[in-house]
Amino acid sequence: MVMAANEKPDNSVPAIVFRRIRYTGETGEKAFVRINLSLFGKEESTQARADGVLEAAFDAINCVVPNDLVFENYTVHSGAPGSNALAKVSITVSEHGREVTAKGEHQDTVVASVIAYINALNRYRK
């Protein structure tokens, strides 16, 4: 994104937009994650391996969106009883004394977690 010297970025538009995730993981094996997202309107694909699916997902995002954020809190709640309930994820991250909390919802807990993390990254830039 190229801006004139006197222009300011439009922080009302999300810088990072989640598109798609593909992941695999087995007990005793490293998890693999590939994430597609839009970063300032440019389509990006990133991947990572880690001990768990969530760690791999967050690592993959951090490859495209480098940051020094520290996870302060991560919670998951069910939106309703039953096997097809929504997972409601809340993530709090901090950097240099500033804390941001964001949420994500989806039927898949991993997707809800990725949405929450991307929402936190977008909120942090505001």
Q: Are strands 31-39 and 42-50 parallel, antiparallel or unpaired?
A: antiparallel
Q: Please give the biggest Cα pair distance in the chain.
A: 54
Residue at 41 is within a domain: yes
pLDDT at residue number 41: 92
Helix 53-64, helix 109-124: angle, nearest 10 = 30
Residue at 115 is within a domain: yes
Does residue 75 contact residue 95 with C-beta atoms inside 8 Å?
no
Does residue 70 contact residue 49 with C-beta atoms inside 8 Å?
no
Residue at 11 is within a domain: no
Residue 7 has pLDDT above 80, yes or no: no
Cα–Cα separations (whole angstroms), residue 77 to 3, 11, 42, 104: 41, 29, 33, 11
Residue at 7 is within a domain: no
Residue at 35 is within a domain: yes
Residue at 2 is within a domain: no
pLDDT band at 60, cuts 50/70/90? very high
Residue 101: which domain range? 16-124
Residue at 10 is within a domain: no
Residue at 28 is within a domain: yes
Residue 84 has pLDDT above 80, yes or no: no
Q: What is the CATH number of the domain that holds 104?
A: 3.30.160.270
pLDDT band at 11, cuts 50/70/90? low
The domain total for the chain is: 1
pLDDT at residue number 12: 59
Angle CA 71–118–112, to nearest 5? 85
51 phi and psi angles, rounded to 5 deg? -65, -30
